[in-house]
C-alpha cells in the first residue's frame, strides 16, 4: 500500500520533468562535425534532461530538405547564403546569425604539407588533388578560388577529384588515393587526420571569406530549447571550442591560426 502511494505521489513529478524536457534536432554542415559534437556535449551537461540530436551532411542537401519540410529545428550551414535564402522564403524563425569563418588548408596523409604551398600541386609526382565539389560545396568553391587566384587553376584542374562534401575529399586523401587535398581547417584538428600529416593554411586573401551562418527554422518557432541553444552559441565556452577547431569567429581579430607540422 505504501509503495503504491509513493508511486502515485511520484507520478506528477514524472510528468513535470516530461513536460520540461524538450528535444531539438540540428542539421549541421559536415565541417562542423568535431566542434559541434563537443558543443552539444557541453550543452547537454548544462541543460540536463533535454535531447539534442545532430545530423551532419552537405549544406545544400539540408537546405533542400528543410524547404521540403524536414524536421530540423536549427540549421548550421557552411555557407551563409543557404540560411539567408530560408529567411527570404519565410522558412526561418530567426535572423541569420554568423557563427564562424571557415578556413581551408592544404593537407596530405603521406607528404609533409606544412612545407608545401599551392605551387607544389603542379609537381608531376602529385597526380591527384582532392577538393569538395565547387559546384555546390562552399569549401570546394573557396579551393577553386584560391587556385584561380594563384594562377594555378589550369595546371591543377586535370588532377582534381571531387568529393561530394569536404569530408569525402578528406577521405580521398586519407586513403591515399589522392596525395593532397584542400580541405577544411576544422577537419584536420581531428586526431584521425592530424596524426597523419601536417597542413598548410591557405592565405585568406586568396579566396572569399567563408562566412558560416545558422538559423532557427520555422518549425522550431516557439521551441524554447532551440532558442536556448542559439543563444548558447554566442557563449564563451562555445567560442573557445570553435577556435580550438580552427574556426575564426565573426567580429574577432583572426589570431593564432598557423600551419602545422606533422
Partner 1 sequence: MLLADNDLQAIGLTIRLASIVTLILLVLGTPIAWWLARTQSRWKGPLGAVVALPLVLPPSVLGFYLLLAMGPDGLIGRITQSLGMGLLPFTFWGLVVASVLYSMPFMVQPLQTAFEAIGDRPLEVAATLRASPLDAFFTVAVPLSLPGFLTACILTFAHTVGEFGVVLMIGGNLPGATRVASVQIYDHVEALEYAQAHRLAAAMLIFSFVVLLGLYLWRPKAKKG
Residues 165, 31, 170, 56, CA torsion sign? negative
Q: How far is the CB of 136 from partner 1 (least distance, A)?
A: 4
Residue among 60, 181, 198, 213 that touches partner 1 (CB under 8 A): 60
DSSP, collapsed to helix, strand or coil, labels residue 183 as strand
C-alpha cell at 125: 609526382
| C-beta closer to partner 1: residue 48 or 124 | 124
Question: Nearest approach, Cβ of 60 to partner 1 (angstroms)?
Answer: 5
Between CA 162 and CA 156 the distance in angstroms is 13
Q: Which residue from 251, 181, 241 is spatially nearest to 211, judged by alpha carbons?
A: 251
Is 135 near partner 1 (CB under 8 A)?
yes
Which stretch in 16-24, 38-46, 129-137, 193-201 sits in contact with partner 1 by CB under 8 A?
129-137
Decide whether 25 or 63 has the Cβ nearer to partner 1. Answer: 63
What the block records as the C-alpha cell of 225 is: 530549447
How far apart, in whole angstroms, are the C-alpha atoms of residue 140 and residue 145? 9
**Residue 167 is a binding residue for partner 1 (CB under 8 A):** no
Contacting partner 1 (CB under 8 A), which of 70, 87, 161, 233? Answer: 161
User: Shortest Cβ distance from residue 18 to partner 1 (Å)?
Assistant: 36
Give the range of 53-61, 112-120, 199-207, 248-256 binding partner 1 by CB under 8 A.
53-61
What letter would DSSP give residue 222?
T
Q: Assess contact for 97 and 183: CB atoms under 8 A.
A: no
Kindly indicate which of the ranges 45-53, 125-133, 186-194, 225-233 contains the residues binding partner 1, using the contact rule CB under 8 A. Answer: 125-133
Which is nearer to partner 1, 35 or 86 (by Cβ)?
Answer: 86
Count, residues near partner 1 per rule CB under 8 A: 22
Are 212 and 76 in contact by the 8 Å Cβ rule? The answer is yes
Nearer Cβ to partner 1 (35/169): 169
The SS3 assignment for 249 reads coil
User: Which among 224, 246, 230 has a CA at the least distance from the CA of 26?
Assistant: 230
- Tell me which residue has cell 565539389: 133
Catalog residues that contact partner 1 under the rule CB under 8 A: 58, 60-61, 63-64, 127-128, 130, 133, 135-136, 161-164, 168, 171-172, 175-178
Amino acid at each position: 500500500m505504501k509503495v503504491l502511494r509513493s508511486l502515485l505521489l511520484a507520478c506528477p513529478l514524472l510528468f513535470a520533468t516530461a513536460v520540461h524536457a524538450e528535444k531539438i534536432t540540428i542539421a549541421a554542415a559536415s565541417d562542423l562535425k568535431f566542434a559541434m559534437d563537443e558543443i552539444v556535449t557541453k550543452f547537454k551537461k548544462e541543460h540536463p534532461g533535454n535531447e539534442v540530436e545532430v545530423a551532419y551532411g552537405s549544406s545544400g542537401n539540408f537546405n533542400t530538405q528543410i524547404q521540403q519540410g524536414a524536421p530540423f529545428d536549427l540549421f548550421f550551414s557552411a555557407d551563409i547564403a543557404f540560411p539567408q535564402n530560408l529567411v527570404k522564403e519565410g522558412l526561418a524563425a530567426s535572423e541569420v546569425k554568423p557563427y564562424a569563418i571557415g578556413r581551408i588548408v592544404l593537407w596530405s596523409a603521406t607528404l609533409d604539407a606544412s612545407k608545401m604551398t599551392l605551387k607544389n600541386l603542379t609537381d608531376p609526382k602529385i597526380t591527384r588533388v582532392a577538393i569538395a565539389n565547387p559546384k555546390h560545396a562552399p569549401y570546394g568553391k573557396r579551393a577553386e578560388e584560391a587556385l584561380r587566384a594563384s594562377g594555378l587553376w589550369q595546371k591543377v584542374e586535370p588532377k582534381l577529384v571531387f568529393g561530394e562534401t569536404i569530408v569525402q575529399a578528406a577521405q580521398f586523401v586519407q586513403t591515399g588515393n589522392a596525395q593532397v587535398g584542400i580541405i577544411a581547417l576544422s577537419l584536420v584538428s581531428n586526431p584521425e587526420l592530424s596524426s597523419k600529416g601536417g597542413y598548410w593554411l591557405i592565405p585568406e586573401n586568396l579566396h572569399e571569406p567563408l562566412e558560416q551562418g545558422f538559423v532557427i527554422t520555422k518549425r522550431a518557432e516557439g521551441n524554447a530549447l532551440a532558442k536556448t541553444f542559439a543563444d548558447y552559441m554566442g557563449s564563451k565556452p562555445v567560442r573557445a571550442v570553435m577556435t580550438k577547431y580552427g574556426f575564426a569567429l565573426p567580429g574577432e581579430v583572426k589570431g593564432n591560426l598557423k600551419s602545422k607540422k606533422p
